[in-house]
Structure 1
């Protein structure tokens, strides 16, 4: 008889492959986060330089100055000729231009807006101080839009907006664990969180003089929280376990560098400048700048862009609900035909996806998942049966989890898929019982069993 020997190293190769798969499944998100921070933060922030900064120059010297600056810093400044000093100033206050320069042999003037960013103001001052010195004059700086007293660096507005952006995304991640909450409750919770964030952020920033007293900022901030939260929640059914990477990429890795809050948008690479008019964070910062420092310039245009994100989020949520209902109808039709179908993926995945598991009955602690299936196992006299094994399987018969009844004969399970499951109650001395139940997110179900002894119920039905 020929002996069959395993190929050398085959077991090791299989073990190595399993290890690699496990690491890839568990560490892909921190690897994505690490790479994203390097690319999206180090790249635009390591050496910010001006790109196509619009400057209004009074008088006929504009063309000559344009040529000189283009030779010195190619692509850094775009010079536009205006009639006089008043026109140069008005171009800055109306946000048509970033700066205004008035050439004069003795006292040249530069109009800037610190509200557009302290680092951009510094670059403009350095550049045009050198221009003034070449003509023998001493530059006079005029800040036509100074920031609030508590925002000396001009970045306070960015951190106010950031404090409402990241929690809006994280709130979605945490609500995905609330298995007893349906879709509607989760949406209402996200709206309530947005109200609290926007009100608290406004009054805290006001107490520190980071922003002026403009209450209209509260609905603008609230609108942005909903743009982030509702869009993130709407993406869950479509990206499932990859949702954290997609939402984090959109609202953290791409939104923050393109917002123009920490570093003015005129000083980041072209890719992020192109994102600036689209992303909700950048539009909120520009809208608040217009509201606080530029007499409401373009506030409603930026609010409209943020509102489009809110509508898109609501549309995604509605589409996800329709997708789930369609899957339920399909499952019902196939069940009637007794056709086996694959279990749909678990709804609302997060960093730690809800897994089918047993939990202690009647134990509800903060941060723990609520039971989605509960029940009690009794004997033929209605007395509780402790130590009975409860096995939950999917429609294929694949075991999802096991539980053991406590001293009161009770059991509880959580994290079950939004689907029909089979629940089997078994004990060595009694006839097993089986039931088919529908586990649904936000709708806990109860299933009790009565087990009869084997010696007195031979041939009897397995259970109810």
Structure 2
């Protein structure tokens, strides 16, 4: 005989469940309000470099006028000729070049530095020319590619590499039968596929990025920076890894990437993050490959590789941590070890039966739907007893074992009836039919008697 005891949720449990459901949306809300909004709502020039082909006195006078109009917005560099000023733009030593003249001053820009950047520079220097009673002539030195009119297509390709890389980590947590090595191999393979798809679409389908092998390489390095680091965080942050990964690789990386708003137009905080986070470095690498002839790739390459190295180190340390835990459990005499439950992003979680460690449930972890204890007639625990859950048609949903205390726990079932069978070597199996519900956890204990003719097998 077997019986189930439904546990009624207390007010504290309801609050706990509610908090578990809303913490990740709260991270997104905070990120959008505290990261995206401050970064994008009012782009302002910050020390934009402009080469000026004029005498030092004229350059100083122009600097003073700009500081009055836009304090701290522009940093002028005096050069000897218009040709040298144009060369500064082509070599990425300056965002724009200016050659003053009495009636038709010349401004040279680079749309590849960002459409928003070029627009602001043109507006400011047009105003300067008009105040002097002159008409500004503008010349485009570095236009964007034909398929990238607004200069933002590479950003969306970078997003198309970043998001699948993160979500692959989240969904792979369901592959509990995979080894750590298989997980990593899947992340590398998935990243290669995502990078290749983005490269072929952007380079050959849209002509938005260069048809250069280095472009493919940097897209792949971005996927690995995100996926390996996110996967490495799982061992240390557990159920909170989605919040950390989303914050690092989306909430902070997107506004600081310079993909939609040029870096020199962002607040100080995001300009500081730009050379540190993966997306900004991947954006710089694509731009350098496309417009600067493969120059200035040292920093983007080093930073992306550093993130990959960090992710690899976290994975190795997580593996060492896992081995140490197994050693501690072995020394404590634990048997019937139950694997650690999958750590998931609630936004991509799919119901699937999975065994949980039969212990106190911590905030952020999956709550058990079914718990219980298997014991003998005298109340002694039966470690290593098998617990099999099937649907009414006999299809196996879950197979696990009890721990050293004879306890088990599981979750991920759909609402409905299921058959739970407990068995152990030398003991008579016991089965019971339960109505499982995501709303009400059940506790099902079993008592297993030996095969010797005695009383009927009981469980409570």
The residue number in structure 2 matching 1:236 is: 234
Change (3 A) 1:216 1:34: same
The answer to whether structure 1 residue 31 and structure 2 residue 26 are counterparts is yes
Structure 1 position 368, deviation (Å): 7.2
Counterparts of residues 207-222 of structure 1 (less than 5 Å):
207-222=205-220
The answer to whether structure 1 residue 97 and structure 2 residue 90 are counterparts is no
Task: Give yes or no for contact 1:95–1:294 (8 Å, CA) kept in 2.
Answer: yes
Structure 1 position 198, deviation (Å): 1.1
1:390-422, Cα deviation, whole Å (9 max, x unpaired): 967799999999645679988551698999976
1:11-56, Cα deviation, whole Å (9 max, x unpaired): xxx9443332221122111112112111111111111111111111
1:345-391, Cα deviation, whole Å (9 max, x unpaired): 6353432899xxxxxxxxxxxx7758789xxxxxxxxxxxxxxx996
The answer to whether structure 1 residue 413 and structure 2 residue 398 are counterparts is yes
The answer to whether structure 1 residue 282 and structure 2 residue 280 are counterparts is yes
The answer to whether structure 1 residue 73 and structure 2 residue 58 are counterparts is no
| Residue segments in structure 2 that go unaligned for 5+ positions in a row | 1-8, 357-369, 409-419, 431-447
Task: Give yes or no for contact 1:190–1:226 (8 Å, CA) kept in 2.
Answer: yes
| In 1, Cα distance between equivalents of 2:156 and 2:36 | 16
Q: Secondary structure at the match of 1:150?
A: coil
Structure 1 position 89, deviation (Å): 1.1
Runs of 4+ in structure 1 off by over 4 angstroms are 367-373, 389-412, 414-427, 451-454
Change (3 A) 1:186 1:108: same
Task: Give yes or no for contact 2:381–2:405 (8 Å, CA) kept in 1.
Answer: no
| In 2, Cα distance between equivalents of 1:186 and 1:404 | 27
TM-score, length basis structure 1: 0.76
Q: Secondary structure at the match of 2:235?
A: helix
The residue number in structure 2 matching 1:187 is: 184
Change (3 A) 1:348 1:405: closer
1:423-450, Cα deviation, whole Å (9 max, x unpaired): 79559xx95469xxxxxxxxxxxxxxxx
Change (3 A) 1:91 1:401: farther
Q: Secondary structure at the match of 1:81?
A: strand
Task: Give yes or no for contact 1:88–1:101 (8 Å, CA) kept in 2.
Answer: yes
Counterparts of residues 32-431 of structure 1 (less than 5 Å):
32-60=27-55, 61-206=58-203, 207-335=205-333, 346=341, 348-351=343-346, 369=352, 403-404=388-389, 411-413=396-398, 426=422, 431=427
Change (3 A) 1:140 1:308: same
Structure 1 position 457, deviation (Å): 3.0
The residue number in structure 1 matching 2:360 is: none
1:258-282, Cα deviation, whole Å (9 max, x unpaired): 0000111111111111000001100
| In 2, Cα distance between equivalents of 1:246 and 1:282 | 18
TM-score, length basis structure 2: 0.77
The residue number in structure 2 matching 1:445 is: none
Q: Secondary structure at the match of 1:54?
A: strand
Q: Secondary structure at the match of 1:154?
A: coil
Change (3 A) 1:165 1:405: closer
1:92-139, Cα deviation, whole Å (9 max, x unpaired): 111111111111112211121111100100000111111122333322
Task: Give yes or no for contact 2:386–2:422 (8 Å, CA) kept in 1.
Answer: no
**Number of aligned positions between the proteins:** 400
| In 2, Cα distance between equivalents of 1:93 and 1:247 | 37
The residue number in structure 2 matching 1:457 is: 453
Change (3 A) 1:311 1:289: same
| In 2, Cα distance between equivalents of 1:72 and 1:393 | 78
| In 2, Cα distance between equivalents of 1:308 and 1:104 | 48
Task: Give yes or no for contact 2:371–2:407 (8 Å, CA) kept in 1.
Answer: no
| Residue segments in structure 1 that go unaligned for 5+ positions in a row | 1-13, 355-366, 374-388, 435-450
Change (3 A) 1:390 1:319: closer
| In 2, Cα distance between equivalents of 1:213 and 1:287 | 14
